[in-house]
Amino acid sequence: MTATTTAVPGTGTAAVRVRGARRAFDGRVVLAGADLDIAPGEFVALLGASGSGKSTLLRAVAGLDRGATGRFRVPDRRAIVFQEHRLMPWSRVWRNVTLGVRGPDLRGRALHALTEVGLAARADAWPRTLSGGESQRVALARALVRTPDLLLLDEPFGALDALTRIKAQALVAQLWTEHRPAVLLVTHDVEEALLLADRALVLRDGRIAEEFVVDVPRPRALDNPRLLALRRALLRALGVNADLPTDKSVPEEKP
């Protein structure tokens, strides 16, 4: 492993600083020297076509990919929410929340985090009894209980139905406002990125190819003209012509 991971104090200039991230799978280059900076408390969305390496970059930042090379400066206190909830089916909900956490009154801390996601009543339930949205909220509580300086979200709402997804996005926006961790959100959903993020990055050919600053005050509505313009530009950067369909009716699927 040639990647160097060093701790950044909470008051540092950048929460995340990645230089020259590289990763190849069986000779196929996925990351070709990607650079990434995230300021403390900044919400960054990372977009890209399928297979563009979004998740690979996130996993490299998370320190989960030993095959990635480059210079990584990442806070020690970081937490990940995956696309699947990845709860231990044999542990009660609250024990899942405090998995790997040490210290006194773990249950109290778990209950506090579960209250924030509205699931304190399910603290003693088995994960299999939860719905998809509930499981994902538990996964969020598991991230929150660590009071992370960096929250990594790997398409956390990708497996949720449309209505549940809207609620989960609102919850993430609210939690981010309250706790202000730096966030790296990997998503394929342009609107999700525009609703939540300060900056949207487009990953292409293994590098961050374009950057869009989402300079729209929160709370945001999707029909905000500035957001609509950004959406069109962002879609074009992703190789989709948004002018062909009449309305926002899943234009991502147009060639």
Question: Please, what is the minimum distance in Å from the beta carbon of residue 6 to another protein?
Answer: 17
**146 part of the interface to another protein, by CB under 8 A:** yes
Question: Please, what is the minimum distance in Å from the beta carbon of residue 144 to another protein?
Answer: 12
Distance CA 216, CA 133 (A): 28
**254 part of the interface to another protein, by CB under 8 A:** no
Question: Please, what is the minimum distance in Å from the beta carbon of residue 175 to another protein?
Answer: 18
Q: Which of 24, 71, 84, 179 binds another protein (CB under 8 A)?
A: 84
For the sheet with 182-186, list strands across it. 78-81, 150-154, 182-186, 43-47, 199-204, 207-213
Q: Which positions from 6 through 35 interact with another protein, judged by CB under 8 A?
A: none
Which one, 7 or 229, has the nearer CB to another protein? 7
Q: Which of 43, 72, 82, 94 binds another protein (CB under 8 A)?
A: 82
- # residues near another protein by CB under 8 A: 19
Q: Which positions from 119 through 138 interact with another protein, judged by CB under 8 A?
A: 126-128
Stretch that binds another protein, among 94-102, 113-121, 160-168, 230-238 (CB under 8 A): 94-102
Question: Please, what is the minimum distance in Å from the beta carbon of residue 87 to another protein?
Answer: 8
* 198 Cβ contact list (under 8 Å, min separation 6): 42, 43, 44, 213, 214
* 17 Cβ contact list (under 8 Å, min separation 6): 8, 36, 37, 71, 72, 73
Q: Parallel, antiparallel, or unpaired for β 43-47 and 207-213?
A: unpaired
Q: Which residues bind another protein (CB under 8 A)?
A: 62, 64, 79-80, 82, 84, 86, 88-91, 99-101, 126-128, 142, 146
